[in-house]
């Protein structure tokens, strides 16, 4: 009973599932399975180590297979109650037939490829069997096991556990038969490789990385957050997208930037807002377009400026393809003045209407050109001034009359009125009194109401365009049918009111008049007496020049005939 016996496990399918095995005992049982069938062998209990409690499912299950050589003892004198106390690895040189005893009845063990070598695991003996091709982001395989330091556990299907104590190459590795594994390297690095991977945390998860972190996804990446999401970067942050980029925000979106912002697009850039669009800038705003600039507003549009406003273009058309305007809030519209390719655009402000007395008190500024005693004729020759010439000597007094028949209009008693709205314009000075009286006379004769939106300018400082407006010898005006100046007349087509007003200007002494389609938006009229007082002025373009301008519309030229 106290003797040790050797045998081979031929059956482990314990019907009681207690881990028992049937063992053919060497020197006691016949190898002839006909004489002693495997089914007639007694069930042998299997001893487990003290590290396995073997109670209530706690501990390690017996791990014997068919073909295992074991050491056993019998607890009875008839040798019918064996106990397996261990296994003995061998060195199989050939595969024994499964038709005889002392072999695996299934014929599976020993496996092909493991003959003529020890039963100790190949990796424990320093023979690699796990071939790996790590990517650029994975560390090299640290396997450098030396016998007898690598302690290996391998299951039937090929699951593997290694506790490698090889000096300077210590590792722990758990590998699935599919090739998925977790490996702890000698320096403490952990490498995980698997097919699909699922991590579920029912509570909180904290990930701390003291160094750099790299995440590489060969296909798609989907991140879903049911609550709030915060990304806080102390340094720089760079997002590079090879395809399209879309951001969907159902609530409010706020972008706070403490430095400069540069938005560069090699293609088109589109900004759409279903509600209002508010752009507030404390500094300057610059819009530059190498091609066209198109601003389209379906309702009212308003542009206001505290200071001057300038638009510069070879030509400016207002509503060229639309219907003639019928009502324009002139005081709220930017003033347009055209002078040899220069446009002076201002936002005027109302000033109380001047009475006849106030207008009459305006004196003509001193000008060397105003004192000229000759003028330039239409053919370019110099001729003596005519009786229509008004010099500074004849109009500096507030009580003297001029050589022209000018009727001053008091809006309190007359049917027309004149007011200045050029206070914020570049040409913000008042007119020469002669020109004022011409305009006032025309307003009185027609019953129309005039707004002077571009007046005189200093001949040496702050001037724009040509010199016609110097010292108040030229004006750009709007005319209205009502004193409140809400119904501005579209003058481009020469309607009856426009023709009557310009005829009145001409009769009162106006020398040059400009108006017509595409000229100052079709709503402005230029009037001057600069031919007499500014001899060096060259007349061209829309400036009447006695009705000889090629650009003047026929209805305007006819007034000068």
- Interacting residues of 487 by C-beta distance below 8 A, sequence separation 6+: 326, 327, 480, 481
Shared domain for 542 and 476, answered yes or no, is yes
CA 470 – CA 460 distance, rounded (Å): 9
The burial class, CB within 10 Å (0-12 / 13-18 / 19+), for 439 is: buried
Shared domain for 473 and 380, answered yes or no, is yes
Contact at 8 Å (CB) between 534 and 512? no
Q: How many CB atoms lie within 10 A of CB 347?
A: 21
Place of tokens 């040509």: 466
**Domain-located, residue 185:** yes
The burial class, CB within 10 Å (0-12 / 13-18 / 19+), for 63 is: middle
Shared domain for 351 and 470, answered yes or no, is yes
Last residue of a domain, one of 151, 167, 196: 196
- Work out whether the CA dihedral 521, 527, 530, 532 comes out positive or negative: positive
Shared domain for 134 and 70, answered yes or no, is no
Shared domain for 189 and 71, answered yes or no, is no
Local structure of residue 424 (DSSP, 8 states): T
Place of tokens 């206070």: 423
Shared domain for 416 and 520, answered yes or no, is yes
User: Per-residue confidence of the chain (561 residues) as pLDDT tens digits?
Assistant: 568 999 999 999 999 999 999 999 999 999 999 999 999 999 999 999 988 898 998 988 888 999 999 999 999 999 999 999 999 998 888 888 888 888 889 988 888 878 888 888 888 888 866 555 566 778 888 999 999 999 999 998 999 999 999 999 999 999 999 999 999 999 999 999 899 989 899 999 999 999 999 888 889 999 999 999 999 999 999 999 999 998 889 889 888 888 888 888 888 888 888 888 888 888 888 888 888 888 888 787 778 776 777 666 666 666 665 554 444 333 333 334 343 333 333 333 333 333 333 333 333 333 333 333 333 333 333 333 222 222 223 323 322 333 333 334 444 445 899 999 988 888 899 999 999 999 999 999 999 999 999 999 987 655 555 678 888 999 999 999 999 999 999 999 999 999 999 999 999 999 989 999 878 889 999 999 988 877 655 544 334 444 455 667 889 988 876
- Interacting residues of 100 by C-beta distance below 8 A, sequence separation 6+: 31, 32, 33
Is the bond preceding 148 in cis, omega lying within 30 degrees of 0? yes
Is the whole-model pTM more than 0.75? no
Instruction: Specify which residues 190 forms β-bridges with.
Output: 184
| Mode of pairing for the β-strands spanning 382-384 and 449-454 | unpaired
Local structure of residue 385 (DSSP, 8 states): -
Q: In total, how many domains does the chain have?
A: 3
| 497: phi then psi, degrees, rounded to nearest 5 | -65, -40
Domain that includes residue 143, residue range: 120-196
Shared domain for 476 and 388, answered yes or no, is yes
Which of left, alpha, beta for 27 (phi over 0: left; psi -120 to 50: alpha)?
Answer: left
Shared domain for 541 and 400, answered yes or no, is yes
Contact at 8 Å (CB) between 97 and 28? no
Q: What does the block give as tokens for 263?
A: 């938005």
| Mode of pairing for the β-strands spanning 21-25 and 374-376 | unpaired
Shared domain for 52 and 179, answered yes or no, is no
Q: What does the block give as tokens for 500?
A: 């009557």
- CATH number, domain containing residue 51: 2.40.50.260
Place of tokens 């560390």: 139
Task: Please report, for residues 6, 69, 214, 561, the alpha-carbon distance to residue 86 in angstroms, rounded to integers and kept in the order given.
Answer: 10, 9, 49, 134
Tell me how far apart the terminal alpha carbons of the chain are, to the nearest angstrom: 150
Which residues in 193-230 are b (16+ Cβ under 10 Å) and which e? beeeeeeeeeeeeeeeeeeeeeeeeeeeeeeeeeeeee
Last residue of a domain, one of 196, 228, 253: 196
Shared domain for 20 and 157, answered yes or no, is no
Which three-class secondary structure state does DSSP give residue 267? Answer: coil
**Domain-located, residue 259:** no
């Amino acid at each position: 009973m106290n003797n040790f016996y050797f045998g081979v496990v031929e059956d482990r399918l314990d019907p009681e599932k207690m881990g028992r095995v049937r063992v053919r005992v060497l020197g006691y049982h016949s190898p002839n399975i006909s004489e002693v069938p495997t089914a007639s062998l007694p069930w042998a209990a299997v001893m487990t180590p003290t590290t396995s409690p073997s109670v209530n499912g706690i501990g390690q299950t017996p791990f014997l297979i068919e073909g295992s050589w074991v050491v056993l003892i019998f607890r009875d004198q008839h040798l019918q109650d064996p106990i397996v106390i261990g296994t003995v690895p061998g060195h199989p040189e050939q595969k024994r037939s499964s038709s005889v005893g002392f072999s695996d009845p299934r014929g599976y063990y020993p496996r092909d490829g493991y003959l003529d070598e020890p039963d100790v695991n190949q990796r424990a003996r320093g023979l690699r069997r796990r071939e790996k091709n790590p990517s650029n982001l994975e560390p090299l395989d640290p396997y450098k096991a030396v016998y007898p330091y690598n302690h290996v556990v391998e299951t039937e299907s090929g699951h593997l556990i290694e506790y490698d104590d090889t000096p300077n190459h210590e590792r722990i590795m758990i590998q699935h038969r599919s090739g998925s594994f977790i490996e702890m390297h000698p320096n403490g690095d952990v490498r995980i490789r698997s097919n699909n991977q699922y991590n579920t945390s029912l509570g909180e998860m904290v990930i701390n990385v003291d160094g750099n972190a790299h995440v590489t996804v060969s296909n798609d990446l989907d991140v879903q957050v049911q609550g709030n999401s915060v990304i806080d970067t102390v340094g720089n942050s760079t997002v590079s997208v090879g395809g399209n980029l879309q951001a969907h925000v159902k609530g409010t979106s706020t972008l706070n930037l403490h430095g400069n912002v540069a938005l560069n697009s090699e293609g088109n850039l589109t900004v759409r807002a279903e509600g209002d669009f508010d752009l507030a800038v404390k500094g300057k705003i610059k819009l530059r377009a190498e091609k066209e600039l198109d601003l389209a507003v379906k309702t009212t549009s308003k542009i206001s400026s505290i200071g001057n406003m300038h638009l510069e273009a070879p030509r400016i058309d207002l509503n060229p393809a639309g219907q003639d305007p019928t009502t324009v809030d002139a005081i709220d519209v930017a003033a347009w003045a055209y002078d040899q390719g220069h446009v002076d655009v201002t936002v005027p402000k109302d000033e109380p209407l001047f009475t006849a007395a106030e207008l009459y008190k305006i004196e003509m500024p001193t000008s060397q050109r105003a004192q000229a005693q000759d003028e330039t004729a239409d053919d370019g020759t110099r001729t003596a001034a005519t009786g229509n010439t008004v010099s500074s000597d004849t109009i500096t007094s507030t009580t003297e009359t001029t050589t022209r028949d000018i009727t001053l209009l008091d809006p309190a008693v007359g049917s027309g009125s004149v007011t200045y709205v050029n206070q914020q314009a570049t040409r913000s000075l008042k007119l020469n009194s002669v020109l004022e009286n011409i305009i006032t006379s025309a307003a009185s004769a027609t019953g129309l109401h005039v707004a002077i939106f571009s007046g005189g300018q200093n001949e040496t400082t702050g001037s724009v365009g040509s010199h016609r407006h110097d010292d108040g010898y030229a004006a750009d005006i709007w005319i209205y049918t009502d004193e409140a100046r809400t119904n501005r007349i579209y003058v481009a087509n020469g309607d009856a009111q426009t023709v009557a007003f310009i005829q009145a200007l001409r009769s009162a002494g106006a020398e040059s008049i400009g108006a017509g389609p595409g000229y100052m938006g079709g709503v402005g009229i230029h009037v001057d007496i600069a031919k007499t007082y500014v001899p060096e002025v060259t007349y061209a373009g829309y400036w009447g020049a006695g009705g000889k301008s090629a650009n003047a519309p026929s209805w305007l030229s006819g007034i000068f005939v």
